[in-house]
Amino acid sequence: MSRTPLKGSEQLPKAGQLIASAEARALCLRKFAHHEVCAIELFAWALLRFPDAPVGFRLGLLQTLVEEQVHCKLYLERVADITRADGREDLPQSELEPFPLGRAPLPNSLWKGLGAIRASPEPLAAFLCGVGLTFEAANLDHSLKFRDIFRQAGDDASAAGGGELSEAEVIAGESPLQTLCAEKHIECISVDMQFLHSLHKFVTGITGYAGGKDNGGSVCYDNYGKKGHTEVVFMRAPRDKLPSIAQAAWSGLFNDGERQDLANKGSPYRAAIGFRGGKFGSPELAKVFDDVAGGQASLEAGSGNEEDTLKQRRLLVYDMDTFPFHQAELYHQFHDYQGGWRNQLQGDGRLHDVDCPNELVAMLKSPVVIALISGIGFCCLVCAASFGWKYFQQKFRRNGQTPLP
């Protein structure tokens, strides 16, 4: 296999490279394997650093450490399979790559976070936020994103591995929540900091689309409604904090079971939440939102492409395995254009470029803009016709002719 300039860097191969090149896919999986090794080291460090933590918690760290070793082994075995399929099937696995995780220098982004963890007044909470809610969450996001890319490349074996390494997420949707976390990011950040105990630089809210039956190709601002999706915000949260987050969102967005935003209407603004398993597959999560609604709205299993829920007191519950989350364009992340938060999420690998039209093109394709431009064009035509008519009337008068009726 030929070497690529991406070896040793923190940059992951682009989608086009992964689809076209088996080597790029092997490189990507090596970087995932290296992430698992770093996680193994950090969990081992935590076992030594927090000897007085509850026994159950330390056992959980140990169990996670073991699982990370299994994940690393899965990645490296798949790398070896790809390498053999690339024409080196005669070599034993130990000789396929003298540096299984890639050549130096290897990324050290996870270890860089230890400085903030050590300096925190609550280092254990900082460790859980920094490693669990940020780095590990980013890795899980990567596994789902690259699973889909591997499938596009026809590499179902690598795609299956990415699916196995993902875990549960929660999405919540309809226009007010999208507005809350995208256009007014301070509220979203305050929810993160209050309920997730995250450090100032950690943000979890990402805007996007979900709930549609058409999940093929790119889901973008100019077509998400046509594909049956609604606007949503993706967040990660510990399960024991979910009731508090759900309560904060419900009280801020709904009034007596009805959403407060009445300006945005239609299927793309229907009220929805989503998590793995949906209403029936994860009844304990559905109960959290049912309790928060307090009988003011009914939770219904989402079937995709539903009409608006306005004035119906309904909250659709989607199974994320069937109705996956699609990240929105970068220009839809934090509409006040304070790029620090967006840059942080990009740096953590939780935000990425999507194959969608740029903001100007998407705006010009908007039905509202098209109607506005059409209206302006019609008015211009009317004005031009009126001016032309008056011009010819005056011309006839100057020539002594009878004006046209």
Which H/E stretch holds residue 314? strand 314-319
* Cβ atoms of 158 and 143 closer than 8 Å: no
Q: What is the pLDDT of residue 201?
A: 40
356-380 pLDDT tens trace:
998 888 777 766 677 777 788 878 8
Region for residue 87 given its phi and psi (left: phi exceeds 0; alpha: psi -120 to 50; beta: otherwise): left
- CA–CA distance, 290 with 93 (Å, rounded to integer): 52
Domain coordinates of the chain in residue numbers? 1-167, 168-365, 367-398
Q: Alpha-carbon torsion 350, 356, 361, 365, what sign? A: negative
277-325 pLDDT tens trace:
899 988 888 999 999 888 899 999 999 999 999 889 999 999 998 999 9
Which H/E stretch holds residue 101? none
Q: What is the pLDDT of residue 364?
A: 75
Q: What is the pLDDT of residue 191?
A: 40
Burial class (CB in 10 A: 0-12, 13-18, 19+), 338: exposed
* 273: helix, strand or coil: strand
Which residues are CB-contacts of 28 (< 8 A; sequence separation ≥ 6)? 12, 13, 18, 146
Which H/E stretch holds residue 61? helix 55-83
Q: What is the pLDDT of residue 399?
A: 63
**Nearest CA-CA partner of 202 in 140, 134, 249, 147:** 134
Burial class (CB in 10 A: 0-12, 13-18, 19+), 248: middle
Region for residue 102 given its phi and psi (left: phi exceeds 0; alpha: psi -120 to 50; beta: otherwise): left
Round the average pLDDT of the chain to a whole number and report it.
Answer: 75
Fold of 1-167: Ferritin (1.20.1260)
82-93 pLDDT tens trace:
877 765 544 444
pLDDT for 332 beyond 60 = yes
CATH number of 168-365: 3.30.1060
- The backbone torsions φ and ψ at residue 176, rounded to the nearest 5 degrees and listed phi first, read -60, -40
> 310 vs 196, 252, 254, CA distance in Å?
31, 16, 11
Report pTM: 0.49
